[in-house]
Amino acid sequence: MKKLCTLLFFGSIFLLTITGCKEKSTRISSDREEVILRKIGHEILLSSGNSTSRVQPIIKEENQYRIQFDADFGFPPEGIAMIIDTILKNSPIQENYLVKIEKCTTGDVVYSYEVDVFSPRPFTEELACGSRPQPKDCYEVVIHFLSSPKNTKSNAWLFIVLPLILLLIAVFILRKKRTQSHLNKHKIKLGDYLYDPKRMVLIRQERTIELTSKENELLSLLNQFANETVNKETILNKVWGDEGDYVGRTLDVYISKLRKKLENDASIELKNVRGVGYKLIVGN
């Protein structure tokens, strides 16, 4: 049980690590992120009627990106927000984000909003003061990507459900072992054979050899006194008793039949102890 608990613990750690790595691998490269951010800057300039000015190199500060422009521009907040949302929604970046539009000269934030990409509410409800156009000036667009609540919930779900799944697996394995143990408790190791007196069979290398009722009783008795001589009188009394169907060399015939069924294992011998009885010799 202790080994099983240890296995469950390390199994949980392993699976959570794999999941974490998988989530990290879904993050796209910085180069691709920069291309997406430059596209946002390009569309902002186009929306202001400027198709010739350049978007300056994107400045990245951890999860925050700063888009700078060569030219001044004015903008309606709702329009610039729609550009950013449309491009990000159709990109591999699926994270919540905060947008700030700052003046280049003072760093003052003239407009900001936050978007929950997993919210069921319409995007327009996230915007405030969306209809107040900003005058032409030097602006910088700052986009800060936030940790996704969806991923956080997913991880929490894993920490709760994964151990439960592993526990159910452990219960299943334990129950299976107990069932197997219950099924095997009637089986006796007899050299290379498994002897099941309850089912009256010998099993060797997945081959099942059936025993008759008398063969089974005879083998069971001889196995009970394995490596000891059992005299004929004891055998006759125990196996045939008062049935009255023992005639002539019947015992010898059954011994011969058992020898035939056990002949594939050289470590087992049914020995005739002359004038006394029989001995089942089972090697180690």
Find how far residue 22's CA is from the centre of its chain: 14
User: 10 Å Cβ neighbour count for 97?
Assistant: 21
Which run of H or of E encompasses 136? Answer: strand 134-137
All structural domains of the chain with their residue ranges: 26-148, 188-282
Distance CA 78, CA 214 (A): 95
28-59 b/e with 16+ CB inside 10 Å = b? eeeeebbebbbebbbbbbeebebeeeebeebe
**pLDDT for residue 241:** 82
The alpha carbons of the chain give a radius of gyration, in whole angstroms, of: 42
> pLDDT 10s per residue in the chain (284 long)?
555 556 555 555 555 555 554 444 444 577 888 899 999 999 999 999 999 999 999 998 888 899 999 999 999 888 899 999 999 988 888 888 999 999 999 999 999 999 888 776 555 445 555 557 889 999 999 999 886 444 444 455 666 777 778 788 887 787 766 655 554 566 888 888 999 999 999 998 889 999 999 999 999 999 999 999 999 999 988 888 866 566 668 888 999 999 999 999 989 999 999 989 999 998 76
CA distances from 89 to 3, 82, 96 (A): 48, 10, 11
User: 10 Å Cβ neighbour count for 11?
Assistant: 16
Structure-token pair, residue 83: 């550009």
Distance CA 249, CA 43 (A): 106
Q: Given 1.10.10.10, 2.60.120.10, 3.40.50.1390, 3.30.70.1710, which CATH number is that of 188-282?
A: 1.10.10.10
**pLDDT for residue 127:** 57
Structure-token pair, residue 129: 């003061």
